[in-house]
Amino acid sequence: YTDNVATLDPALPHGINYIPLIGTGRGNYRPNWTELADVIANNPGRIWMVGNEPECVYQEPHTPAEYAQVYHDVYQFIKAQDPTALVAIGGVVQPTPLRLQWLDMVLGEYQARYGQKMPVDVWNIHNMILQERKGFWGCDIPVGLDATAGRLYALEDNDNFDIFVQHIVEFRTWMKARGEQNKPLIISEFGVLMPKEYGFSPERVNAFMNKTFDYMLKTRDLALGLPEDDYHLVQMWAWFSLNEEPYGMGTGLGFNGELFNCYTRQITPMGENFARYTSRLASQVRYFPRIQRNWRAGAGGAWAGTE
């Protein structure tokens, strides 16, 4: 699981895997190195995500040059503290052409500044389906790009399975073109953000959950997948969310898809569906809710997790 921070002593019930996220703030932000060293020392062999949606104006916005520098410094620091650690990029909101352009610019900035290819142990994305239009609802335009629009997904597309699959194939294609096919791909955040008031009922959300889980568990591609994982396209994923605040019509805050209600702590229909789905995979599960397949990286594996 991930909690969008790097916790010194994370809860690990039944040995569940924990993937910390190092927040990168804005611009040329740097973490507290002393505190981070303690966290790394207490969590050896983990996968570390550097930033959260670092291209997005609403999250931890960085220009490509800024993120290349932040990533370099954090990567080098982690490896110096724990050579067994694996480092992943911060997941972009969705791997659309605009956001792949931003990533290409990051790689270019890294190469120009440090004279070598940017080292990425684990490729990480989010797979949301949101409009890319400057100043409108959705995920806006990546920081540092001059575009005013990208893919103009409709609100109704938020649970579009075909688009979800398209994103994965396009990103794996992008990885292969850059010599990165032999690296694992994780999706550290995806789900249905739009609320039931807009037509996204629990039944509809659960149908999307089941279909996407099936796809990522079973889909192999000899041309694009990870050879070490029997050519599966995706090695890990985490559903959004475990207990995010549900959407409020009055406030406009919150999202859909939570497995537990953050106020009552009661399981939701989506949580019940998640439990049913994972219980059918008992032979593949080492530690609920992680689903183990072939690929191994430190304490990791192919899992279905929650955020």
CB atoms within 10 A of CB 170: 15
Residue boundaries of the structural domains of the chain? 13-306
Two structure tokens written together for 301: 């594996």
109-123, 162-176, 286-300: range with lowest mean pLDDT: 286-300
Token pair listed for 214: 């099936």
Architecture of domain 13-306: Alpha-Beta Barrel (3.20)
pTM attached to this predicted model: 0.93
Residue 41's CB is within 10 A of a number of other CB atoms, namely 11
Contact (CB, 8 A) for 8 and 38:
yes
| Predicted confidence (pLDDT) at residue 139 exceeds the cutoff of 80 | yes
Note the pLDDT tens digit of each residue in 3-38.
999 999 999 998 888 999 999 999 888 889 999 999
Q: Which tens digits make up the pLDDT trace of 213-264?
A: 999 999 999 999 999 999 999 999 999 999 999 999 889 899 999 999 999 9
pLDDT, residue 173, reads 99
Q: Which two tokens stand for residue 183?
A: 């690296």
State in Å, rounded, how far the first CA of the chain is from the last one.
6
Neighbours of 163 (CB within 10 A): 16
Q: What are phi and psi of 286, to 5 degrees?
A: -90, -50
DSSP 118: P
Cβ contact 100:171 at 8 Å: yes
Q: Which two tokens stand for residue 65?
A: 């040059």
